[in-house]
Amino acid sequence: MVGQRLGGRYQLEERVGGGGMAIVYKAKDLLLHRPVAVKVLRPQFGIDEDFINRFRREAQAVASLSHPNVVSVYDVGQDEDTHYIVMEYIEGQTLKDLINQHGALPIEEAIRIAVQVCDALEHAHQNKIIHRDIKPHNILIGNNGRVKVTDFGIARAATSATITHTNSVLGSVHYFSPEQARGGFTAEKSDIYSLGIVLYEMVTGQLPFSGDSPITVALKHLQDPLTDPREINPRIPQSVENIILKALVKDPFLRYGSALEMLTDLETCLSPERQNEQKIEFPVDEEQTRVYPRITEDMLGQAQSDREHYRKGPQTEEDENGKKRWWVRAIVWTAALGLFVILALFGFNLVQQLFEVPEIDVPHVVGTPVQIAEAKIKEAHLVPERQEQFSNTIEAGSVISQDPAPPMRLKENAKVLLVVSKGKKLEEMPNLMSQSRSLAEQQLKLKGFTVTENTFEEKEDETAPPGVVIEQVPAAGEKIVPSETTVKLTISKGKKFVELPDLKGLTEEEAKVRLFQLGLKVGEITQVPTYLTEESGIVVSTLPFTPNMKVEAGRDVPLQVSNGSYPSDAKIGMEPVLVEYDGDREKRVRILVTDARGDKQQVVNEQISSSMEYQVPIILSPEKRTATIEVYMGDEKVPVQTRTISYDDIP
């Protein structure tokens, strides 16, 4: 659908994500000229009224929320058979991408993210909206660090009684709560449990429950004990572990009462006052399965002795009717029944011993080479299974994680899954040549490269338009690890431009040399009459170009030079000026003229020791119809004489 326009307004530019129900595109809002995210319902669901209603319910759920940590909804619509939601576009990555790239996050960063997600959930819960699918994939981290919760696709009002749809459980199996696993009633505490799983994964780098199938994982949520986060990452403060344990307790009544309560705990968990916090404890469920002690030979012998005692004990006298007393018979029957129970238990225990498979402690092999890890697993009489995946932090051939992990115990010959590192994933450097800077930057970020201002440099280019990539390092197609590769992109500034200096007053030859030095060419040379000078060959103009204008390198610059004569409409006169000498001492006289040739031109500058009369030339034009003569003596700042001559005064 890339390139398609929805609603006549939203131009789909590229696909940026998707799930089972919808596909997400980056698009441009042609009306408001801004980037948006458009979530489009998959075509196969466009005729399913139930899916359409769920899709619209997502828009309604998010539209009812207004919070800085919830992705905003701008619009919802239908274009023929295509149903779509227009949302705020977040420039960044998902929390899942961040965990996959870096493993366990710094504790402070994990708490910062959890606080913002919890704040968003508190706002949603206050508005009676349960998200029901909180997971790292639905938490966006903007380039500015802002956390945004998205994908309310299976959200429902807090009064809803079930999360089933066509007999299947909605949600993500690794992150949903025990009550979701049962397909039962979901409330705010289900979101709290899911946030606890997310926080667990952020601080340990791994999920608390995993398995070969969704059913296996769901059963673990219901039955298996939680491995303490500090066993995986000892750097986790006890106060942080306590928050995770309280959020992930299987009994919802023992969890946080609300997202606000959890938020308050998160905001203070790293404070110095909580450094020595004790580990949280929960009451033991009296109804859970217990392990009873095995019946031993001594216990069986004691039971036999008790039986003989009752059988051979003193006989009671028969009553008058020759019958034993009733209580004697009751004691005998009770003893016989007790003996039967003991013998039955003994027999069951004996059979269990014959067929019982011993339990074995699972060895810890995370971080060890896979050959050594498999040897340890086999030595413990367990069966290793290998699964490979790329890792930027664990070297190739070493174990990233195992399932199950200590302190779990397994039956002999049970399977242990080992996730083994394939090393850092090598990817082909994309071809960014001729792309715009913004598009190239976006592609780099999507590939996992670190982009800074130092990534780009600008360079003038005679052929490429401004703003496009003209050089890239590494070259396209080169195999690299994005997170470890420094990229350099050269962006075209277009053709070179130079600043044209003021050439007025230079000779024609001087102007030509100056233009050549700047990379400009000499255009047409025109000789014109001018008021500026009577000397021929002096530059008087470069029109249409003006001084200090940016001119493209290689352009022709025309020159207008004087032909040694004044224009035909010029009036030329000589004005006598008498400068009197006071006889005191020799003084300097300066005479300045403002006329058609320019302002305050100095025509006299000399020492006098007697009165002098000067003939001062005046040139006027129809445009410049007034001339001014100013006479200065010595260091005076104010003229001692000022005379004005008009155009009409000159014959």
Q: Which residues pair with 10 in a beta bridge?
A: 6, 29
Three-state SS for 548-570 is CCEEECCCEEEEEEEECCCCCCC
297-312 vs 326-355: helix crossing angle, rounded to 10:
160
| Helix (H/G/I), strand (E/B), else coil: 222 | helix
User: According to the 3-state scheme, what is the secondary structure of 500-554?
Assistant: CCCCCCCEHHHHHHHHHHCCCEEEEEEEECCCCCCCEEEEEECCCCCCCCEEECC
Separation between Cα atoms, residue 384 and residue 350, nearest integer Å: 31
C-beta neighbour count of 498 within 10 angstroms: 17
Do 396 and 371 meet the contact criterion of CB atoms below 8 Å apart?
Answer: no
Asked if 583 contacts 562 with a C-beta cutoff of 8 angstroms, the reply is no
Q: Bridge partners of 620?
A: 571
- Tokens 């005064």, residue? 649
How many CA atoms within 13 Å lie on the side-chain side of 470?
17
Q: 96-113 burial string, b = 16+ CB within 10 Å, else e?
A: ebbbbeebbbebeebbeb
Cα–Cα dist 402/420, whole Å: 9
How many CB atoms neighbour CB 326 within 10 A? 9
Instruction: Write the DSSP symbol of residue 269.
Output: T
Q: Is residue 407 reached through a cis peptide bond, with omega within 30 degrees of 0 on the bond before it?
A: yes
Q: Which of the 8 DSSP states describes residue 468?
A: B
Written as one string, the DSSP assignment of 117-153 is HHHHHHHHHHTTEE-----GGGEEEETTS-EEE---T
Catalytically active residues are: 133
Rounded Cα–Cα distance for residues 289 and 174 (Å): 25
Neighbour tally for 205: CB within 10 Å? 18
Residue indicated by tokens 């596909």: 23
Cβ contact 43:25 at 8 Å: no
User: In angstroms, rounded to a whole number, what is the distance separating the alpha carbons of residues 393 and 414?
Assistant: 29
**Per-residue three-class SS string for 371-400:** HHHHHHHHHCCCEEEEEEECCCCCCCCEEE
